[in-house]
Each structure stands twice: as structure tokens, then as C-alpha cells.
Amino acid sequence: MGIIQPTKAELRRCEIAGLNYVVGNSNMFHVKEFRIYEDICKTYFTGQLVIETSMNTGELMIAPTVEVFIDFSCPRSDGGTTKRYQERFRIYSYESRPLSGGADARMEHTIQLIGQEYYNDKHNVVTQNFKNETGTSAARKIHNQYVQSNGGLDIRIPSTGLIGQDRTPHQTINKKPVKAVHDILDRVVYSSYKTCAPIYFRNKPGYEWDLYKSL
């Protein structure tokens, strides 16, 4: 089986604030490096973009929360079907420094990127009671209402038992959505496994609630 070569990629499109790195015959900015980070510890993706601008064009597009779109493809070592990756981020922070040489006010910008889910989590607070329902059902409700930016939560294996009943509901009071979901993770049980560690994360197709199992 051929593997994707992580050091080789063809950048098809990169937009910052709706401006492509090439607009007509005028170069808005030059992409020098880009990195995308995905793991099972986060409900959002992060990334880094290093670009070069001239004539102060960076001031037109670089600012916190501005949307960034990246589209690139990766060849396979066996010559198989090329994988294409597209994702939207927002600018979390950036650093700029002048470059020596030339008279065009050249600047290099290192931009830290983050997914929209990060802001959905930061800008919302959950206060809600859950009773007579499973933990996975309650987690799906919180995710779908507050966190999602790319679809609902896919729960591979539903939990068993109820996290709250009429007289003693599970209370979520003034908590950020992701923290509320993780609090539920600590309470759920599964009849099929002696021990397990539920995880809540974002992958490329969407969001998942899955299990690390130890039998």
C-alpha cells in the first residue's frame, strides 16, 4: 500500500480574507510554508501558515478571526490516486517581521490558524439539566447546539444507563460546551467493555465520539 508523503504537496489555492495568493496578474502574497495539525485530543484543527507580502498588502487581510481557506493535494508513493485536502480556518494570532533586500517593504508573516469550533466553544456557555437519557445522547445535544461547524457528532457505540433521573438530574451549570461534554465522558459506562476511555474529537469527515478499549 502506498503512503502519503508528508513532505510533498501541491498548493492549489490559499485565500486569506477572501483574497487568493494570486489575483489576476497581481501577486497578493507568496506562501512559503504551511502546516496542518490534527489529533484525537481536540475538537478543532490547528495550523500554521508562513507567507511573504510586499507593499503593505498584509495590512489588507491579516487580523485575528479572519477566515483562511487552504486547498492542497498530496501525491502517493505508489503513484495511486492523489489525495486532496480542503479546510477553512480562522487566524488565531500572527507575527510579522521585515525582510532585508529590495525596496518593496517585504514582510514575512507567521500566522497561527485554528478551527471555527474553538470560537464556538469560547463564545458559548451551557446551563442545562439532563435526565432520563444516556450520556452519549446528552453529549450529542450539547455538541450539535453549541460546537459543530462541520456536521453533527457521530457516536460509534452508545453508552448504557442514564446519567440523570427525574429526582437527580445531571446538571451542567455555566460550563463551556467542550468542558460539559468531557464531564459527561467521565460518567458514561459501556456494558460491552470492562474498561474503556471515551474520546471526543474532530476528524476530516466530521466529529466522533469513540472508545479506546482495554479488555
Model confidence over 146-180: pLDDT tens digits? 999 988 899 888 888 898 888 889 999 999 999 99
Cβ-proximal residues to 51 (8 Å cutoff; 6+ apart), any chain: 16, 21, 29, 30, 31, 32, 58, 108, 109, 111
What is the pLDDT confidence band of residue 25, given thresholds at 50, 70 and 90?
very low
Containing structural domain, residue 84:
10-114
Question: What is the average per-residue pLDDT within 96-115?
Answer: 89
Q: Which amino acid is at 151?
A: G
More confident residue, 23 or 41: 41
Q: Is the pLDDT of residue 208 over 70?
A: yes
The answer on 210 and 145 residing in a single domain is yes
pTM (global) more than 0.75: yes
Cell of 8: 510533498
Cell of 62: 491579516
The answer on 128 and 167 residing in a single domain is yes
d(CA 62, CA 17): 8
Q: Is the pLDDT of residue 111 over 90?
A: yes
Question: What is the average per-residue pLDDT within 187-206?
Answer: 83
How many domains, in total, are found in the chain?
Answer: 2
Degrees, nearest 5: CA angle 182-139-213: 65
Q: 52, 80, 114: which is the final residue of a domain?
A: 114
Q: 72, 94, 114: which is the final residue of a domain?
A: 114
The answer on 158 and 97 residing in a single domain is no
The answer on 82 and 134 residing in a single domain is no
Q: 89, 114, 139: which is the final residue of a domain?
A: 114
